Amino acid sequence: MPNDLRIVLIGTTHPGNIGATARAMKNMCLENLWLVRPSVFPSAEATARASGADEILARARVCRSLDEALVGCRLVVGASARRRTVSWPQLDPRESAERLLSESRHAPVALLFGRESSGLSNAELDRCHYLVQIPANREFSSLNLAAAVQVLTYEIRAASLRGRPDEPQTPPECASADTMEGFFLHMEQALLDLGFAHPKQSAQLIRRLRRLFLRARPDNEEINILRGMLSAAQGRKSMRR
Ligand code: SAH
């Protein structure tokens, strides 16, 4: 069983889907369910649909924000039914399972699922190193939430049964999601202070920079260097004022 592989459901509306997710997870030997702002939870409907996977529901962590669910995570993969206009790095279901499984041996990792009505928001996709899409019917690509969880967690199970996949290609000590968010906030503020960008008018620029740094998977020391550079630039600018 992977060490800390979190299945994170964001803004789930139907409690039945939460129960069916718990059942799918238990079937596939996963146990860490995180719920970000579910509409209704706990609920008798969720328990009924869990059909015996109640302990997963009982241990589910309910959070007020995605930030909370991602504390400590070093790899974040978002499940998305749609091809997006901005091209996020993509993995297929098998690759995503192998990456999540292999990296979960070193640090917490998360697989995110969006709302039944609208999926994941752009701000939530911005938190992901990769997106994974189940290659369904192009004209009818959106699976039921719990069905999508079932397919992707089956791939994790299958990867685990295939045996030890490749060792992680990325250094296990890369900075966690919360450290990266601290850096991104600092970066946006610095770009604003330097007059290089206005975050409100430069959403695409900020998104591209986020993707660049997420792709690089920097470690804590590298983040400290980058933040030191930003602080120095901010200091120099304010001295000139
Ligand atoms: N109507 C929404 C889809 C919601 S389905 C939309 O257009 O985005 C609820 C969630 O299930 C999605 O956010 C996604 O996390 C997952 N999901 C559904 N179909 C999927 C697919 N084909 N590939 C990957 N994830 C999928």
The whole-angstrom separation of Cα 212 and Cα 143 is: 30
Q: What's residue 167's pLDDT? A: 59
User: Ligand 1 pocket test: which of 8, 80, 156 has the largest number of ligand atoms within 8 Å of its C-beta?
Assistant: 80
Q: 3 pLDDT band (50/70/90 cuts)?
A: confident
Instruction: Assign domain 5-162 to its CATH architecture.
Output: 3-Layer(aba) Sandwich (3.40)
Q: What is the pLDDT of residues 47-66, one digit of tens each?
A: 999 999 999 999 999 999 99
The full DSSP string for 51-71 is TT-HHHHHHPEEESSHHHHTT
Q: What is the pLDDT of residues 165-220, one digit of tens each?
A: 555 555 568 999 999 999 999 999 999 999 998 767 788 899 999 999 999 999 99
User: Ligand 1 pocket test: which of 35, 130, 139, 145 has the largest number of ligand atoms within 8 Å of its C-beta?
Assistant: 145
Mark out the alpha helices in the chain (DSSP H runs). Answer: 15-27, 44-50, 54-59, 66-69, 93-104, 122-125, 145-162, 177-193, 203-216, 220-240
Q: Which atom of ligand 1 is nearest to the CA of 112?
A: 15
Residues lining ligand 1, judged by CB closer than 6 Å?
Answer: 79-82, 113-114, 116, 118-120, 133-134, 136, 141-143, 145, 148
Residue 81 C-alpha to ligand 1 middle, in angstroms? Answer: 4
Q: What's residue 233's pLDDT? A: 95
Class of domain 177-240: mainly alpha
Q: Which atom of ligand 1 is nearest to the CA of 78?
A: 15
The pTM score is 0.90
What are the boundaries of each domain within the chain?
5-162, 177-240
Q: What is the pLDDT of residues 87-123, one digit of tens each?
A: 789 999 999 999 999 999 999 999 999 999 999 999 9
